[in-house]
Amino acid sequence: MVDVIKRNNVRVVGNANQSIVLAHGFGCSQNVWRHFVAAYRSKYKLILFDFVGAGQSDLSAYDSDRYSSLEGYAQDVLEILEALHITSIIFIGHSVSSMIGVKAAIMQPAYFSKLIFVAPSPYYINEAEYIGGMEKEDLHNLLELMDSNYLGWSSLLGPQVMANEDRPELGEELVANFCATDPDIAKEFARVTFLSDTRADLENLQTESLTLQCSNDILAPLEVGYYIKEKAKGNTLQILEATGHCPHLSAPEETIKAINAYIQIEQ
């Protein structure tokens, strides 16, 4: 029997009745949620974890077939909830984890009361009238660079994704996160992240949701936020003043304030 807690390095902080699950994005680990832990640990039970291949997860549990699609990662989320015997959670997902949360909520809606998307995208590629942010050729070139020079790719992409040039330490942190992830697993997860098209899932989502879109994000432009708002039933769109793809790190106070307003707790 799989030890889900060990596999995903699950950590529970706080003992309140209402649970918040924090799901990190590609190339990161649960450590990116440290500002949220400080803000919410006294009010909520926080569930943190690492996807297999990231942080302190069990690398031996990685299975290329299982994780060849976002469904495999969504199944991990559901198995964590089952192992902890919790339902009606507030799920906060960053980047690709937003869509992992969508898939998990479609598969088992009773586990979820609200979904909160931080810099989400259901599809990263420009296609016809859809603006995803990247041309297909440019994305494939980026993935080829990742294959040939993972460390160089990390150093190039990290600061661009963080997009806070006046605070280079933020970009350096993202690069360090990329470099702490198993490179072989990261290459496979990158393809699943950037090539998956989850637009059709949005129309099947029944759980209410909040989209937090940054004002300038090279990976998830504003058009993506408006697309999610249009396609996902019960979605609320909030445009943040924050720039870059990681507002939970670059602008945690603004991000937390927007979430507080949505889940209606005192500031």
Domain ranges, ordered by start, for the chain: 4-138+196-263
Mean pLDDT of the residues in the chain: 91
Let me know if 95 is a catalytic residue: yes
Span 24-43, pLDDT tens digits = 998 889 999 999 999 999 99
Which of 95, 97, 154, 209 is catalytic? The answer is: 95
Residue 242 makes CB contacts below 8 A (sequence gap 6+) with 214, 215, 250, 251, 254, 255
Token pair 């998990």 in the structure block, residue? 104
| Distance separating alpha carbons of residues 143 and 80, to the nearest angstrom | 30
| Distance separating alpha carbons of residues 251 and 8, to the nearest angstrom | 27
Number of other residues whose CB lies within 10 A of the CB of residue 63: 10
Let me know if 166 is a catalytic residue: no
Let me know if 217 is a catalytic residue: yes
Closest residue by Cα to residue 96 from 222, 226, 1, 224: 224
- The reported pLDDT for the residue numbered 146 is 81
Number of other residues whose CB lies within 10 A of the CB of residue 152: 11
Class of domain 4-138+196-263 as given by CATH: alpha beta
Span 169-222, pLDDT tens digits = 766 766 676 656 788 898 899 899 999 999 999 999 999 999 999 999 988 999
Considering only residues 162 and 97, tell me which one the structure prediction assigns the higher pLDDT.
97
Which of 29, 57, 201, 245 is catalytic? The answer is: 245
Least confidently predicted of 8-22, 82-96, 131-145, 165-179: 165-179
